[in-house]
C-alpha cells in the first residue's frame, strides 16, 4: 500500500449531501462529489490487511459478505491514492460491468466486511468506486469497443435489468450476436422504473445502453416475449436463451379493506413517478402522493424510495410501518464481523422526512390490522397494531399483537413495499422450464442451466429478490455458461 499508516492517519469522510429541504424540490442526484485530494486521502485509508474480506463475496448468515463481483478493491483504492485514475478504472472494469450503477445503489456489503471496520469506520469503498467510473466518463476513457470477430451464434436475453445487461455485455464481447428483449419502453428493468431518479439518474442507464448498442447489442423494446413475440419464433431464431426477467410479483397483504382504492404495490408507484418525470410532469395520475397522507408498509430500500418520492410529489405527511424491531446502533453480539452489520441506518428518505416533518417516519414493530375506507370506496386510514416478537412451540419467532396498541393513521395513499415473491410465469410456462419450490426458474448456481437445453437463467428470476450487484454477478456467470454451451456443442446450428 502506498501509505501503510493511512488508516491511522485519516478519518472516514463521505460526500456531503444537499440540504434535505432543498433537494426534495427536484429529482436530481443529491450527493456533492468530494474533491480529488480528499478522495485520494480516503483511498489511503485502505490498509494492507493481508486477507481482504471486502471482495470475498460469499453468503454468511444469509446475507452477502464482501463484494459478490470480487472487485479488486485494495488495488484500485491504492491506485486512486497514487493518482493513477485510468489504471484504477481498468482494475474496476475487470470485474464490474456497470460501476456507475453499483456505485450509486449498492448497499455496499464490501464495506460491511472491511477489515478496518473491526476497530474504525470502514473505508469509503462505494464512494471511491463511483468516483472512478464517473472520472472515466469525464475523461472520455469509456468508449464503445465492438468485438473484432463474430461467432455467428445468436443469443436472446429476456429482460434488460442488471443481470440481462451484464449477460448481454459479456456475450457480445465474446463475439456472439446478442438481442435483448424488454417489455418496457426503455432498457434497464428495475434500474429504470424501480429506482427513483435522485438515487440513479436515468441518463446513466441510457448512456450505458447506448454504448452497448454501438458495440453491437440489439434492444427490442415494448416487446414481451411469450405475448408479443411467440416462444416458437424465439427458439427458431436463436441458438440460446438467457432468462433475466427478474422477480416482479410484488408481495401483497390480505388485511381487511385491501380492495379499497388507493392501495398500490410500491413498484407501480415508483414506475409511475419515473414515467411522469420523463414526460416532464409532477405526476401521471394515480398513484400519486400529491397532497395526500401516505403510509408506506415495509422497510428496506424500496420503502425508503417511496418515502423520498412521496415527499418530492408534495405529500402532506408520510409514515413508514416496519414489522421488525428497531435495529441496534452497534453490532449485536450475534451479528459479528464480517457479517453484514444489521444496525440502524437512516437513509436519504428518512432524513428528508425528518427535516420536513420533525421526526423519523418509521414506526417499528407495527403491522396492519385493516384498511378503513370512505363513502367512495377509497382508503382513508390504516389501522395498525404494535407487535411483540415471541417464540412459538417450535422455537420460531412470530409476531404477537399487543393488546391496546391499535393506532389509526390517516392515509389516502398506501404503498406496499414488502418485497417480491418471484418471477411472473407466462414465459416460464411457455418455455416449459422447471421451477423450484419458490417458483423461481430452477437452475443450479454456477451452471445457470435450466431443464431445457440451451435455456439459461440468472438474476432475481433464478435466485429470488436480491441486490443489483448479485444480479450483475449472475449475468456474468450465465454468460460464461452460455458461451461454453455455444462453443462446445455441435448440434446447435440447426
Residue partners of 389: CB distance under 8 A and separation at least 6: 325, 365, 397, 398, 399, 400
| Angstrom distance (rounded) from CA 55 to CA 87 | 18
Q: Tell me, what's the pLDDT at 285? A: 67
Superfamily designation of domain 154-248+421-488: FAD/NAD(P)-binding domain (3.50.50.60)
Q: Is the peptide bond before 338 cis (omega within 30 degrees of 0)?
A: yes
List of the chain residues with pLDDT < 50: 493-494
Distances (CA, A) of 110 to 69, 465, 491: 10, 19, 43
Q: Would you list the DSSP string of 405-474?
A: --EEEE-SEEEE-S-EEE--SHHHHHHT--B-TTSSB---TTT-B-SSTTEEE-THHHH-S--HHHHHHH
| Angstrom distance (rounded) from CA 134 to CA 200 | 13
Look at domain 6-138 and name its CATH class. Answer: mainly alpha
Q: What are phi and psi of 83, to 5 degrees?
A: 90, 10
Burial of 494 (0-12, 13-18, 19+ CB in 10 A): exposed
In this prediction the pTM is: 0.96
H-run or E-run covering 96: none
| Angstrom distance (rounded) from CA 212 to CA 182 | 15
Q: Tell me, what's the pLDDT at 494? A: 43
Q: What are phi and psi of 430, to 5 degrees?
A: -65, -35
Q: Tell me, what's the pLDDT at 262? A: 97
Q: Tell me, what's the pLDDT at 64? A: 86
**Strand 379-391 relative to strand 366-373: parallel, antiparallel, unpaired?**
antiparallel
Do domains 154-248+421-488 and 252-418 share one topology? The answer is yes
Write the CATH number of the domain with boundaries 252-418: 3.50.50.60
Q: Write out pLDDT tens, residues 187-196.
A: 999 999 999 9
Residue partners of 191: CB distance under 8 A and separation at least 6: 101, 105, 161, 162, 200, 205, 468
Domain ranges of the chain: 6-138, 154-248+421-488, 252-418
Q: Write out pLDDT tens, residues 243-302.
A: 999 999 999 999 999 999 999 999 999 999 999 999 886 555 679 999 999 999 998 999
Grid cell 425528518 in the structure block, residue: 354
Amino acid at each position: 500500500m502506498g501509505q501503510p499508516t493511512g488508516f491511522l492517519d485519516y478519518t472516514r469522510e463521505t460526500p456531503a449531501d444537499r440540504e434535505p429541504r432543498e433537494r426534495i424540490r427536484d429529482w436530481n442526484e443529491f450527493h456533492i462529489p468530494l474533491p480529488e485530494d480528499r478522495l485520494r486521502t480516503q483511498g489511503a485509508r485502505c490498509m494492507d490487511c493481508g486477507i481482504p474480506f471486502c471482495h470475498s463475496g460469499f453468503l454468511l448468515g444469509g446475507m452477502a459478505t464482501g463484494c459478490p463481483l470480487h472487485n479488486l478493491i485494495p488495488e484500485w483504492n491504492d491506485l486512486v491514492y497514487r493518482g493513477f485514475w485510468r489504471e484504477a478504472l481498468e482494475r474496476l472494469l475487470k470485474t464490474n460491468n456497470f460501476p456507475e450503477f453499483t456505485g450509486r445503489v449498492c448497499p455496499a456489503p464490501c464495506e460491511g466486511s472491511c477489515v478496518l471496520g473491526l476497530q474504525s469506520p470502514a473505508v469509503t469503498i462505494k464512494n471511491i468506486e463511483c468516483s472512478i467510473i464517473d472520472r472515466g466518463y469525464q475523461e472520455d476513457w469509456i468508449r464503445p469497443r465492438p468485438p473484432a470477430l463474430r461467432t455467428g451464434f445468436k443469443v436472446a436475453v429476456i429482460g434488460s435489468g442488471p443481470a440481462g445487461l451484464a449477460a448481454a455485455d459479456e456475450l457480445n464481447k465474446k463475439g456472439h450476436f446478442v438481442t435483448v428483449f424488454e417489455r418496457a419502453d426503455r432498457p434497464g428493468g428495475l434500474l429504470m422504473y424501480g429506482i427513483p431518479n435522485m438515487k440513479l439518474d436515468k441518463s446513466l442507464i441510457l448512456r450505458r445502453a447506448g454504448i452497448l448498442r454501438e458495440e453491437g447489442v440489439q434492444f427490442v423494446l415494448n416487446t414481451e416475449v411469450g405475448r408479443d413475440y411467440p416462444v416458437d419464433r424465439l427458439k427458431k431464431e436463436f441458438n440460446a436463451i438467457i432468462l433475466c426477467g427478474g422477480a416482479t410479483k410484488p408481495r401483497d397483504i390480505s388485511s381487511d379493506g385491501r380492495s379499497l382504492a388507493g392501495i398500490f404495490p410500491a413498484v407501480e408507484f415508483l414506475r409511475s413517478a419515473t414515467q411522469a418525470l420523463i414526460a416532464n410532469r409532477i405526476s401521471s395520475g394515480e398513484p400519486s402522493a400529491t397532497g395526500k397522507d401516505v403510509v408506506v408498509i415495509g422497510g428496506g430500500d424500496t420503502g425508503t424510495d417511496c418515502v423520498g418520492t412521496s415527499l418530492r410529489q408534495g405529500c402532506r405527511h408520510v409514515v413508514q410501518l416496519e414489522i421488525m424491531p428497531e435495529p441496534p446502533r452497534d453490532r449485536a453480539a450475534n451479528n459479528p464481523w464480517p457479517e453484514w452489520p444489521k444496525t440502524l441506518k437512516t437513509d436519504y428518505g428518512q432524513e428528508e422526512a425528518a427535516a420536513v416533518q420533525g421526526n423519523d417516519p418509521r414506526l417499528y414493530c407495527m403491522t396492519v390490522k385493516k384498511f378503513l375506507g370512505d363513502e367512495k370506496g377509497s382508503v382513508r386510514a390504516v389501522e395498525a397494531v404494535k407487535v411483540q416478537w415471541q417464540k412459538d412451540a417450535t422455537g420460531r419467532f412470530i409476531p404477537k399483537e399487543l393488546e391496546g396498541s391499535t393506532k389509526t393513521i390517516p392515509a389516502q395513499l398506501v404503498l406496499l413495499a414488502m418485497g417480491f415473491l418471484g418471477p411472473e410465469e407466462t414465459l416460464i410456462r411457455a418455455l416449459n422450464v422447471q421451477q423450484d419450490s419458490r417458483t423461481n426458474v430452477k437452475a443450479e448456481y454456477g451452471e445457470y442451466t435450466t431443464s431445457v437445453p440451451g435455456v439459461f437463467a440468472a438474476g432475481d428470476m433464478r435466485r429470488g429478490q436480491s441486490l443489483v450487484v448479485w444480479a450483475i454477478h449472475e449475468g456474468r456467470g450465465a454468460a460464461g455458461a452460455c458461451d461454453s454451451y455455444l462453443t462446445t456443442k455441435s448440434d446447435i446450428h440447426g
